Chains A and B, each alone.
Chain A
Amino acid sequence: MRQAVARELRSDEMIINMGPQHPSTHGVLRLELKADGEIVEEAIPHIGYLHRDFEKHAEKLPYPQIIPYTDRMDYIAAMNNELGFCLAVEALFERGGKPIEIPEKGQYIRVIVAELNRIASHLLAFGTYGMDIGAFTPFLYAFRDREQVLGLFEEVSGARLLYNYIRIGGVARDLTPDFHHKTRRFLDYFEPQIDTYNDLLSKNKVFLERTRGVAVMSAEQAISYGWTGPNLRGSGVKWDLRKDEPYGIYDRFEFDVPVGETGDCWDRYFVRMEEFRQSVRIVRQALHQMESSGLLQSDEIMGKVRGTIRPPAGVVYSRTEAPRGDLGFYIVCDGTEYPQRLKVRSPCFTALSAMQELSRGLMVADMIAIIGSIDIVMGEVDR
């Protein structure tokens, strides 16, 4: 009887190609799913569709001209990429004994734009995650509010997505006269919005069912996979470079590091929602400190940097807390104006490498929930 059934019903595993063009893969990612019915036995990510070998380009470019390329890695959080790269080059100067002094105002502007960009980036993560799972409305709220941050960036840098604003030694342009008023108005508007988001999506029954207990990552596994940022904190590890290895002037601000409990999709998502509040806190403090120390009137935003930037020979590995995790730059500099080797440690690349581990034994529909929860940007995975 068994054999008769087997002859009629084919029951071998099925291979499903998810992507490269799929609305919820956040870029061009192809997942090769080996499925037994609805159960995924293996999910093999195929990446490289957006690969343009940024690292190769960088070897032929003077340092300041690399900044626009870093914008295009994680194009959702371009400010944070620029900041990471500029800090790495400045670290080269510092270790060579020729530190660049960055003016106070430049430091504060860097923190403000980096945290605003974190808000914009998490808004996109929040909006698209809801949409992936079937809630369309939060997406509209998220994009409506992200628009305001982009407006602020447009005012200060002239661009809405790829800014080329943070430079080696400071920032490119001074703030506009009413920038701090506008930013504060945005923060006053935005803070209560976070509760709206939570009402809309975080506590939504359907959303909870889809994300609670799905794709649990233990802290130990997450560390072994090199997870960082909100993904790692979702697994309950309290690790934030802004706190643990403060760079720039981050040691001057008070903020908390929200962590999850179980390490499931919902925890990873909710850590981002909590980080909204922390970023708002940091920007508020930065604005306040700028005002009270009279920096708003200052126009010193760039340190003394030569026209041709030629860092002293040396090797440096420097990392910062980007919205998606530790963004590391490894620069080998031979004393010329071009890097000999520039390697980027992408937080999305390492997060995605755990896909196979995360997806084993789950349903095909859960793949969407996983990809959204680790919040990847393929521009940074492929570089």
Chain B
Amino acid sequence: MTEPEIRDRLVAQCSQGAILPEGDDALSATPVEIRVHASYLAEVARVCRGDSELHFDSLMCLSALDRGDALSVVYHLHSMSLRHRAALRVDLPRANPVVETVCGVWRTAEWHEREAYDMLGVRFEGHPDLRRILLPNDWVGYPLRKDYETPTFYRGMKVPY
């Protein structure tokens, strides 16, 4: 399936309002990022995985990023059987970045969501074990946010720079 076909299929199969209209994004992407309303993300993910014509059985990558005004989570999907790919994107408010987990749909998401939480503080509702993965448990702040300030002390020790 081509990218517009995938988009049309998703619009047809998901609840109304789940797939947001194509915005006039300054940064366009390859593959095209289909914007999804945050509260429908889990549903869209289940459709992506379960629909016989889409059948995205593999989550290639889950990335979170700081866009300044919002945090985004991008899901790169691939179908091993049908050999097509797509990307979903949710934009979350900085103050309260919460989105439902997709762990139950793709097992890959379990660690990738933990990483997104660790680095950008995105909280994934329903995740079985949402804790830091790369940084120590007592780390303060989320390093990949643009307003993150590099700490000069760690547990009372001066960090030499």
Mark A residues whose CB is within 8 Å of B: 47-48, 51, 53, 55-56, 91, 95, 220-221, 223-226, 237, 239, 244, 313-317, 319, 326, 328, 330, 332-334, 340-341, 343, 345, 349-350, 352-354, 357, 382-383
Q: Is the CB of B74 within 8 A of A330?
A: yes
Q: Of the candidates B30, B61, B143, which one forms a contact with A343 in the assembled complex, judged by CB atoms under 8 Å apart?
A: B61
Q: Is the CB of B119 within 8 A of A55?
A: yes
Say yes or no for B12: interface residue by CB 8 A criterion. no
Say yes or no for B123: interface residue by CB 8 A criterion. no
Complex interface: chain A residues within 8 A of B26 (CB): 313, 334
Q: Which of A223, A226, A332, A383 has the most CB of B within 10 A?
A: A226
Q: Is the CB of B76 within 8 A of A328?
A: yes
A47-B33 CB under 8 A given contacts A56-B144, A226-B106, A353-B108:
no
Q: Is the CB of A328 within 8 A of B108?
A: no
Q: Is the CB of B29 within 8 A of A328?
A: no
Q: Is the CB of A315 within 8 A of B60?
A: no
Q: Is the CB of A223 within 8 A of B57?
A: yes
Task: Tell me which residues from 63 to 117 in chain B have a Cβ below 8 Å from any Cβ of chain A.
Answer: 63, 65-66, 74, 76, 80, 83, 87, 106-108, 110-112, 115
Mark B residues whose CB is within 8 Å of A: 26-31, 33, 57-61, 63, 65-66, 74, 76, 80, 83, 87, 106-108, 110-112, 115, 119, 132-136, 143-144
Binding site secondary structure of chain A: mixed
- Which 6 A-B pairs have CB atoms at the shortest separation, nearest pair first? A226-B108, A315-B29, A345-B61, A343-B63, A353-B111, A48-B134
Complex interface: chain A residues within 8 A of B28 (CB): 314-315
Q: Which of B61, B74, B119 has the most CB of A within 10 A?
A: B61
A315-B63 CB under 8 A given contacts A53-B143, A226-B108, A353-B111:
no
Provide a sorted-by-A list of 28 A–B residue pairs whose CB atoms are within 8 angstroms.
Answer: A47-B133, A48-B132, A55-B144, A56-B143, A56-B144, A95-B30, A220-B57, A224-B58, A224-B107, A224-B108, A226-B106, A226-B108, A314-B29, A314-B30, A315-B28, A315-B29, A315-B33, A316-B29, A317-B29, A319-B60, A332-B65, A341-B65, A343-B61, A345-B60, A345-B76, A349-B111, A353-B107, A353-B108
